[in-house]
Structure formats: structure tokens, C-alpha cells
Amino acid sequence: MVVGKKVIKETLLPSLQEDDDDYNDDEVHGQELLGGIGSRPPSRPRNIYSRGSVDNQTVIRARSQTLSLGERAEDDEDGGDEDEVAERGQACGAADGQHRDGVCFSPDEDYDTDLELEDEKEEYDRTGQSRYLQMCKMLNVVPASYFLRNLHKSDVNLVHHGLGPQGTMALAVPLVTNTSILKLNLRDNWMEGVGGVAVADMLKENCYITDIDLSENHICERGVKALSSMLLENTTLLSLKLSGNGLDERAVRHLAEALNKNQNLQHLDLSHNNLRETAGEILGTSLSENTGLKSLNVSWNCIRGKGAVSFARGLGANIFLRAVDLSYNGFGKEGAVALGEGLKENNTLEELNISINRIPPEGAIHLAVGLKVNKTIRILKMSRNPLQSAGCFAVLKAIESNPASAMEHLDFSDISVDQEFEDLFSAVKEMLPNLQVKHGGKICTVNQKTKS
């Protein structure tokens, strides 16, 4: 039954091996299905939010069906039973009177040539549709009809399809050889660590996908560890989104190692995770050594204190980043001071979002020190910080003092300013006619109320 085993092996990904013993038997069984034959069935069916789960009978039935196909293929290759061949030869001989040793020879029929046999071969499946259907049958999951219809397109959006771990494993198999898909969105499919490992193994082989969104999939540390290993080998992936995956400092440690060596990834999204002070320190150190990222999003986390200071220092040492989103963290005064120092050194950053970071007026004044010498910042967003009009004035005054400033847009949304700020803005407008400033409105003084 060699052919039968070969049929199965050709449909599977390389491996989903994991050294940790902390993961349950169902996840181990899933990776063995993806990694090759010889895995043991799970101790109990998995009840998850997915397109299907694997049980003992399903796996046994899928294997037996595939093996039976292999047996028939072997019989065809061996020529079948000799008696059957002889009977066919006799029947053929009865028709034209010419047969020898059970084999029919007809003078009216042309012999098959190598060229004709080559034409009869099945065309190579570049989309991987047949492999996908085979894996869905083996894993007992319902094939995603949208995926089947769009395997030939360059942009595939599978948001909210409820693939689950098994559905993701089935999906990963055809993507190994698919040459059409360049951008893949798998947001919110609850793939968990098993699915994250499957996608990581696929990306080690696939050299066409440049943009992938794995946000809101609960891949946690296990999935990030596999993806980090993938980043050490993959040279084509440009954008990776890992928003909303519950990532903490342990997951970031794996990712930081990959960022230190990967020079191809340009866009990374780590927003809406659980990155705290230690994670900020790890990322700051990594940023100072990274030579590939052009944009980084770490908004909606809890980076503050020493983590904020370390991140700001790493940003100052980085010479490739163009856009950084730090909104909805807790940089405060201490982080703003470090950012001001970082902006003195950084000469590549063009867009910085530090909205909603609890930055007081004193923090804005220290940040302005960096803006006095910075020549590249074009967009600065500081909305919903307790800056008051004094903090906004300090930032605008620093821009006025910098003749080489490239500032085009200042966002002070929901922060009220006074008349002094308005007068300064009119003066700066003459120097930078394209400058746009957005704020929360002008403060109405008591004298103005009396006049009105």
C-alpha cells in the first residue's frame, strides 16, 4: 500500500512539532495530522467554535478511504490479475482474431506515444483546491466556499469565518503551493495556538504572500513562537498584524528575537494586546537593532513607566521607522521626556501618534525640546491628553523656533486653547502655510462673555 501512504503524505504540511508538554492531547493530535501519518487519535472530541472537529472514527475513515484508493492504484500499476488480462485478451481476439499471450493486437489501432501519454497527465493544481478538499474530509470540517471560489485571486478576505484550529490547518495545506494569493486576511477565526503554528509552517514554504492579518485569533504565546521562527526564514512577508491576540511579555520575547534579525518585515501591528512595562522594555531594545520596520502599531496596550522610557530610547536609535502609533498607553510625563530626547536623535520618523497617554503640560514642554531640532516629523497627534492650552502652546512655539521643521498636521482634538495660542498659530501660519492644527475649540474668557 505504498501508493496510498504517498497520497496522504503529499497532501500534508511539513510539521507542527512543539517541545512544550503543557498543551493538551487534542492540539498534539492536530499537529500530527498536519505533520504526517502515524499520529494517535485524541482522547476525546474537541468542542470548539469552528467548522468541525476531529474524532476517532473520522480520522480512521479518512485514512482508510485514502489507503483504499492507493490499493486500487497499485493494482492498476501492476496490471491487475493475470486471469483478468487473459480474459480481456481473449475477448479482444474474438473481435479481430489477433491476440497473443492474453494481449490483444489490432492492426487498425495506433500505439500510444510518449507525447500522447504526457498530454493525458492531469494539469498541476496551482491553487491547491483538491488538497484543500482532501484535508477538509480528513479533518471532518466543512470547506469554506468563499475560499474555494477565490483561490485564484490575489486578495482573499476570510474575516469572521469561524475556521477554528482544524479549519485553519486544512486551509494552510493548499496555501503551501498556492501562487496566486498575495494578501490574506484571517482576522477573528479563533485559530488558537494550533492554527497559528499551521499558518507559520505554511509561511515557511510559501514565497508569495506579502501581507497577512492574524488579528483576534487567540494564538497567544505558542502561535507567536512559531511565527517568530518563521520570520527567521521567510523573506517575502512585508506586513504582519497580530492585534487582539492576548500577547504579553513572554510572547514579545520570542518576537523580539526575530525582529533583531529579520530585515524584510516592514509593517507590524501589536495593538490591543496585553503589553505592559516589561514588554515595553523588550520592544525598546529590539527597536534599536531592527533595520526593516517602517511602521509599528502598539496602541491600546499598557506601556508605561520604565517600559515607556525604554521604548522611547529605542525609537530614538532606530533609523528606519516612518510611522509609530503609541496611542492609548500610559507614557505620562516620564515617557514624554524620553520621547523629546528621542526626537532629537531620530531623523527618519514622519508620523507619531501619542494621543491619550496622560501627558501633562510639563511633559509637552519636554517633548517640545525635541521638536525644536527635529526635521522629519510631519504629523503629530496628541489628542485627549491633559495638555491644557499651555502644553499646546509649547509644542507650537517649538515648531515656530525650528526653521527646518517639516510639520504639516498637529492634532490637539478635545483640548481647548486660549487666545494666546490662536495668535501664535496665525504667526506660524505665515512661516508654514500648509500647517493644519486641530483642537477642541477656543476657551471663552469672562471678558468675552461680558462683551457678548
Return the domain boundaries, the chain: 2-120, 145-451
CA nearest neighbour of 328 among 309, 350, 305, 353: 353
Identify the bridge partners of residue 351 per DSSP, sorted by sequence position. Answer: 323, 379
pLDDT over threshold 80, residue 72: no
Strands 183-185 and 155-157: parallel
pLDDT over threshold 90, residue 61: no
Q: How do residues 361-396 score in pLDDT, each as one tens digit?
A: 999 999 999 999 999 999 999 999 999 999 999 999
Q: Quick one: how far is CA 332 from the chain centroid?
A: 31
The mean predicted confidence, pLDDT, of the chain is 81
pLDDT over threshold 90, residue 184: yes
pLDDT over threshold 70, residue 329: yes
The pLDDT value recorded for residue 422 is: 95
CA-derived radius of gyration, the chain: 31
The pLDDT value recorded for residue 167 is: 97
The Cα–Cα gap between 13 and 199 comes to 10
The Cα–Cα gap between 242 and 247 comes to 9
Q: What is the mean pLDDT of residues 201-207?
A: 97
Q: How confident is the model at residue 357 (pLDDT cuts 50, 70, 90)?
A: very high
The pLDDT value recorded for residue 445 is: 61
Contact of 217 with 191, CB cutoff 8 Å: yes
Q: How confident is the model at residue 126 (pLDDT cuts 50, 70, 90)?
A: confident
pLDDT over threshold 90, residue 93: no
Q: How do residues 330-346 score in pLDDT, each as one tens digit?
A: 999 999 999 999 999 99
- H helical segments located in 10-128: 25-35, 56-78, 82-96, 114-120
Per the structure block, which three cell numbers stand in for 348?
527618519
Identify the bridge partners of residue 183 per DSSP, sorted by sequence position. Answer: 155, 211
Q: What are phi and psi of 249, to 5 degrees?
A: -65, -30
The pLDDT value recorded for residue 193 is: 96
Contact of 223 with 200, CB cutoff 8 Å: yes
Per the structure block, which three cell numbers stand in for 186?
484571517
pTM (2 decimals)? 0.75
More confident residue, 42 or 304: 304
Question: Could you give the 3-state DSSP secondary structure of residue 418?
Answer: coil
Please state which of the ranges 14-23, 219-228, 422-431 shows the lowest mean pLDDT. 14-23
Q: How do residues 240-275 score in pLDDT, each as one tens digit?
A: 999 999 999 999 999 999 999 999 999 999 999 999
Q: How confident is the model at residue 197 (pLDDT cuts 50, 70, 90)?
A: very high
pLDDT over threshold 90, residue 436: yes
More confident residue, 347 or 114: 347
Q: How confident is the model at residue 29 (pLDDT cuts 50, 70, 90)?
A: very low
The pLDDT value recorded for residue 124 is: 62
The Cα–Cα gap between 230 and 207 comes to 12
Q: How confident is the model at residue 74 (pLDDT cuts 50, 70, 90)?
A: very low
pLDDT over threshold 80, residue 23: no
The pLDDT value recorded for residue 240 is: 98
- In sequence order, what E strands does 282-412 have? 295-297, 323-325, 351-353, 379-381, 409-412
More confident residue, 33 or 349: 349
Distances (CA, A) of 234 to 35, 46, 294, 419: 20, 32, 18, 55
Q: Who contacts 35 (Cβ-Cβ below 8 Å, separation ≥6)? A: 12, 13, 14, 15, 16, 17
Please state which of the ranges 68-82, 124-138, 166-180, 350-364 shows the lowest mean pLDDT. 68-82
CA nearest neighbour of 289 among 259, 254, 331: 259
Domain 145-451 has CATH 3.80.10.10: yes
The pLDDT value recorded for residue 13 is: 52
Distance in angstroms between the alpha carbons of the first and the last residue of the chain: 95
Per the structure block, which three cell numbers stand in for 359?
501627558
The pLDDT value recorded for residue 125 is: 74
pLDDT over threshold 50, residue 8: no
Q: How do residues 133-150 score in pLDDT, each as one tens digit?
A: 999 999 999 999 999 999
The Cα–Cα gap between 158 and 147 comes to 7
The pLDDT value recorded for residue 127 is: 86
